[in-house]
Amino acid sequence: MRTHALPADDLIALLGPLLAAEAVAETSGSGAEPGDLEQAVWLRLLERLRRAGPPADPPLWLRRAIRAEARRIRRTARRETALTCEPADAGRHDPERLALVAAHRRALRDAVRRLPGRCPGLLAALLSPHDPTYREIARELGISQGSLGPERSRCLGCLRRLLAAEVAAG
C-alpha cells in the first residue's frame, strides 16, 4: 500500500493497529514489553516525520522499524542479562566458592596494606563491614571530608596498578 503525504493523524490511525500486532509478535517469548517496542517505534516515526517527512510505504517502513527496534531491545537485554545471570544466592554455600571468595578478600586486604601513605587506612575504612560515613572516615583519619573523594580515587588507582602488576607477574 503506497501512501503519499498522509497527514500525521491519518498515518497514526493507519499504522496503530499494525504496530500493535507487530509489537506483540516481535516481543512474544523475549521478555520484552510490546508497549516499550511500540513507544520506541512511534518515536522513530516522529523523528522520521520531522527529518524527512512521511515514508513512501508506511507499512513497510513500520515493519522494518519494528524489527530494528526489537533487535536493539534484545541486544540490550542480552547485555543486561549477562551481568546478572546468576541469582544472588547461587553458590552462597558452595565450599569451593566460599574458599575462593575468602582468598580474594585476603589478597585484596594484603594489597591494600602494601599501598603508600594514607591509602591503607582510607581503603580499610571504606572496606569496613561497619560501613562508616565519609564524615566518620574523615574524622578517624584526621583529614577533611572534601578531600576523601580525590584521595580515594588516587588510592584506588594505586591499588589497580598494584593488582595489575601482580596479575601480570602471576
DSSP annotation string for the chain: ----S--HHHHHHHHHHHHHHHHHHHHTTTS--HHHHHHHHHHHHHHHHHHH-S-SSHHHHHHHHHHHHHHHHHHHHHHHHHHS-S-TTTTTT-HHHHHHHHHHHHHHHHHHHTS-TTHHHHHHHHT-TT---HHHHHHHHTS-GGGHHHHHHHHHHHHHHHHHHHHHH-
> Over 50: is that where the pLDDT of 85 sits?
no
Q: What is the pLDDT of residue 2?
A: 45
* Mean model confidence pLDDT for the chain: 83
Residues 37-59: what's their mean pLDDT?
89
Residues 6+ away with beta carbon under 8 Å from 99: none
Rounded to whole angstroms, how far apart are CA atoms 120 and 155?
A: 8
21 to each of 26, 60, 73, 154, how far by Cα in Å? 9, 14, 17, 54
> Over 50: is that where the pLDDT of 32 sits?
yes
**Domain boundaries 95-169, CATH class:** mainly alpha
Amino acid identity, residue 32?
Answer: A
> Over 60: is that where the pLDDT of 67 sits?
yes
Lowest mean pLDDT across 7-16, 59-68, 89-98: 89-98
Percent of the chain with pLDDT over 90: 16
Q: Which three cell numbers stand for residue 115?
A: 599501598
Which residue did the predictor score with more confidence, 27 or 141?
141
Domain span(s) for CATH 1.10.10.10 in the chain: 95-169
Q: What is the pLDDT of residue 17?
A: 92
Confidence label for 14 from pLDDT (cuts 50, 70 and 90): confident
Residues 6+ away with beta carbon under 8 Å from 72: 40
Confidence label for 90 from pLDDT (cuts 50, 70 and 90): low
Confidence label for 64 from pLDDT (cuts 50, 70 and 90): very high
Q: How large is the angle between the packed helices 34-52 and 58-83, nearest 10 degrees?
A: 130
Confidence label for 1 from pLDDT (cuts 50, 70 and 90): very low
> Over 50: is that where the pLDDT of 3 sits?
no
